[in-house]
């Protein structure tokens, strides 16, 4: 498991935030990461995994841990008041803190999220909250602003695979010519011009989907087999824009206009001030 350095440093320096937002992965993938975090804080032997404390955390039976691990059921305001706010006010039984794991913040109703905000704004001493989400935009802005963000990479492609494998992962029933994959790679690497390609709606949709998976692969911390020039702005924040471009395709916008606008954001980020908010 690649444990984030940000959390390692915070634990080593004993400078833990009261609330963290873990984001970037499907919410059913967070359990080992969250429990590792809690074990490293509580275990006297640096998350040995074998002591009573580690076993209790792993089994979600530690008396100072309040966990909502399932990501299917909705969480309402009464649950927040009775199970979270009241528990946050209790004195720790064994550890020196109370821990809260709130998996998939999207499950909280708007009323529940606003109630949770109150305890995040004025957290009782010795409490640590870990909220998880696919995206940091799943949170209310007010909740997001009370948390320290920890991004975990997501990737459709396993570390051993090349980006050449992306199309068959996205479209397993389709066959793709090598030439098409090569031109897509050259476009992303700045080695080809979009106007040199005959774009229809299907081709533009394919290229945008391909680019999104290249970005996800980059965020899995694997090096890309592309020669990216120094001006290339490969950022996770491009994903929402690419999704909007797909919607524009469905609304009938000319494919070449859409592809050109994407290329501008990749290579001329200084002209996109409102879009640049690199994590």
What is the residue whose two structure tokens read 């996770």? 236
- Percent pLDDT > 70 in the chain is 79
Residues 121 and 200 in one domain: no
Instruction: Tell me the CATH number at 124.
Output: 3.40.50.300
Residue with tokens 């915070």: 10
Tell me the angle at which helices 238-250 and 255-267 cross, rounded to the nearest 10 degrees: 170
Confidence of residue 172 (pLDDT cuts 50, 70, 90): low
Whole-angstrom Cα distance, residue 83 to residue 113?
Answer: 14
pLDDT value of residue 154: 52
Is the confidence at residue 86, as pLDDT, over 90? Answer: yes
Residues 6+ apart with CB under 8 A from 44: 51, 53
Question: What's the pLDDT tens digit per position in 219-262?
Answer: 554 445 554 444 455 667 778 888 888 888 888 889 999 998 88
pLDDT for residue 22 is more than 70: yes
Best-predicted range by mean pLDDT (141-150, 173-182, 207-216): 141-150
Domain that holds residue 94: 5-151
Q: Per the domain annotation, does 276 fall within a domain? A: no
Give the range among 12-26, 47-61, 169-183, 205-219 with minimum mean pLDDT.
169-183
Q: Judge whether 205 and 249 are in contact, CB under 8 Å.
A: yes
Q: Does residue 156 have a pLDDT over 50? A: no
Considering the domain boundaries, does residue 75 fall inside one? yes
Q: How many domains does the chain have?
A: 2
192 in the same domain as 91:
no
46 and 147 in a single domain? The answer is: yes
Percent of the chain's residues with pLDDT above 90: 42
Question: How does pLDDT run across 263-273, given as a tens digit for each residue?
Answer: 887 775 443 33
Query: Do 119 and 54 share a domain, yes or no?
Result: yes
Q: Is residue 277 part of a domain?
A: no
Structure tokens belonging to residue 210 = 């391909």
Model-wide pTM > 0.75: no
Measured CA to CA, the distance from residue 53 to residue 233 in angstroms comes to 44
Instruction: Give residue 57's pLDDT band: very low, low, confident or very high (50, 70, 90).
Output: very high
Q: Is 38 helix (H, G, I), strand (E, B) or coil?
A: helix
In a domain, residue 114? The reply is yes
User: What length is written for the chain?
Assistant: 279
Backbone angles phi, psi at 127, to 5 degrees: -120, 145
Instruction: Report phi then psi at 243, rounded to 5.
Output: -65, -40
């Amino acid at each position: 498991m690649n444990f984030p350095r940000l959390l390692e440093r915070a634990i080593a320096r004993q400078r833990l935030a009261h609330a963290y937002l873990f984001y970037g992965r499907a919410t059913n993938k967070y359990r080992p990461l969250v429990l590792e975090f809690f074990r490293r804080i509580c275990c006297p032997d640096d998350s040995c995994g074998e002591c009573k404390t580690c076993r209790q955390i792993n089994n979600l039976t530690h008396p100072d841990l309040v966990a909502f691990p399932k990501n299917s059921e909705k969480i309402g305001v009464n649950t927040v008041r009775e199970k979270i706010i009241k528990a946050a006010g209790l004195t720790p039984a064994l550890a020196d803190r109370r821990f809260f794991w709130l998996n998939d913040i999207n499950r909280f109703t708007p009323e529940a999220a606003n109630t949770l905000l109150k305890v995040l704004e004025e957290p009782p001493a010795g409490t640590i909250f870990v909220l998880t989400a696919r995206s940091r935009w799943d949170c209310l802005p007010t909740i997001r602003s009370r948390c320290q963000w920890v991004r975990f990479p997501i990737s459709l492609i396993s570390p051993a695979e090349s980006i050449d494998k992306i199309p068959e992962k996205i479209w397993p029933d389709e066959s793709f010519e090598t030439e098409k994959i090569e031109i897509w790679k050259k476009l992303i690497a700045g080695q080809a011009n979009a106007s040199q390609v005959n774009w229809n709606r299907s081709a533009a949709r394919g290229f945008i989907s391909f680019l999104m998976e290249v970005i996800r692969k980059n965020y899995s911390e694997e090096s890309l087999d592309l020669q990216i020039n120094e001006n290339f702005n490969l950022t996770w924040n491009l994903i929402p824009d690419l999704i909007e471009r797909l919607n524009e395709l469905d609304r009938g916008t000319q494919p070449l206009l859409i592809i050109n606008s994407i290329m501008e954001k990749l290579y001329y980020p200084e002209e996109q001030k409102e879009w640049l908010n690199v994590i």
